[in-house]
Amino acid sequence: MASPVISFQDYGFQYMAQSEPTLHHINLDIYPGEKVLIAGTSGSGKSTIGNCINGLIPFAYPGNKTGRLLVDGKEVEQSSIFELSHTVGTVLQDTDGQFIGLTVGEDIAFALENDCVPQDEMKQTVDKSSGSAWQGLWWKRSRLCCLMNLWRIWTRQRAGPRLN
Ligand SMILES: Nc1ncnc2c1ncn2[C@@H]1O[C@H](COP(=O)(O)OP(=O)(O)OP(=O)(O)O)[C@@H](O)[C@H]1O
Ligand SMILES: [Mg+2]
């Protein structure tokens, strides 16, 4: 049987700024390919669990932990945010706010830039992952839409306020 890709073992966490632990005695194994929904009331600790998995806890939000959390077989504390980012991806609640570029290709390139991938390799990966022909068309289309919107705003401003 495959081993869990995420394993909380009697895990607890208390933020430095809190007087009580937010997570208590969590025992949870998530296996490759599983889709798991974590549901709960506001403030119950769902985002905190996510931040434990992606390494924001403990690397960005310090606190006291008990028990163990293994991601891809390795204790999170023995890893780093950079190392974890190769295994864990995080989609935020406001997904639109997470896009950096205007196209899928730009966003793929952004992630590769952060990983210091050489430009030649980066271009190949972007082409392979996003489909270069469609990507090129989409790129031109989004630039054209942008120019058309600017044109519309400019002509409206020149026409002055409209009463209707
Ligand atoms: N960076 C932080 N420092 C201190 N306390 C925090 C921090 N982030 C969250 N908390 C506290 O931890 C508890 C759980 O918060 P969390 O954001 O994980 O809940 P949630 O279930 O994701 O809530 P929501 O459904 O509103 O997103 C709350 O009491 C919150 O105030
Ligand atoms: Mg949340």
Give per-residue pLDDT as tens, 2-51: 899 999 999 999 999 999 999 999 999 999 999 999 999 999 999 999 99
Same domain, 75 and 4: yes
Mean of all residue pLDDT scores within the chain:
86
Alpha carbons 101 and 157: distance in angstroms, whole number: 28
74-75 and 6-15 strand pairing: unpaired
For residue 18, give the nearest of 64, 79, 56, 58 by alpha carbon.
64
Q: Which ligand is nearest to the CA of 51?
A: 1
Full domain range(s) for residue 131: 94-164
pLDDT at 97: 81
Task: Judge if 25 and 79 occupy the same domain.
Answer: yes
More confident residue, 131 or 85: 85
Structure confidence at residue 163 (pLDDT): 47
Average pLDDT over residues 79-83: 90
Mutate to test the pocket of ligand 1, among 16, 18, 65 (most ligand atoms within 8 A of CB): 18
Residue 46 contacts residue 36 (beta carbons within 8 Å): no
**Confidence check: pLDDT of 131 > 80:** no
Name 39's Cβ contacts closer than 8 Å, sequence gap at least 6: 46
Two structure tokens written together for 99: 């896009």
Same domain? For 155 and 101 the reply is yes
Q: Which of 16, 20, 22 to mutate to test the pocket of ligand 1 (most atoms within 8 A of CB)?
A: 22
The residue-averaged pLDDT of 52-71 equals 96
Report the domain count for the chain.
Answer: 2
The finding on whether 14 has its CB within 6 A of some atom of ligand 1 is no
If asked whether residues 43 and 122 sit together in one domain, one would say: no
CA distance 5 to 84: 12
CA of 71 to the centre of ligand 2 (A): 20
For residue 56 and ligand 1, the question of a CB distance below 6 A is answered with: no
Question: Averaged over 104-119, what is the pLDDT?
Answer: 89
Same domain as 151, residue 76: no
**H or E stretch including 15?**
strand 6-15
Quick one: 6 and 78 in the same domain? yes
- What pLDDT does residue 61 have? 95
Q: Which ligand is nearest to the CA of 39?
A: 1
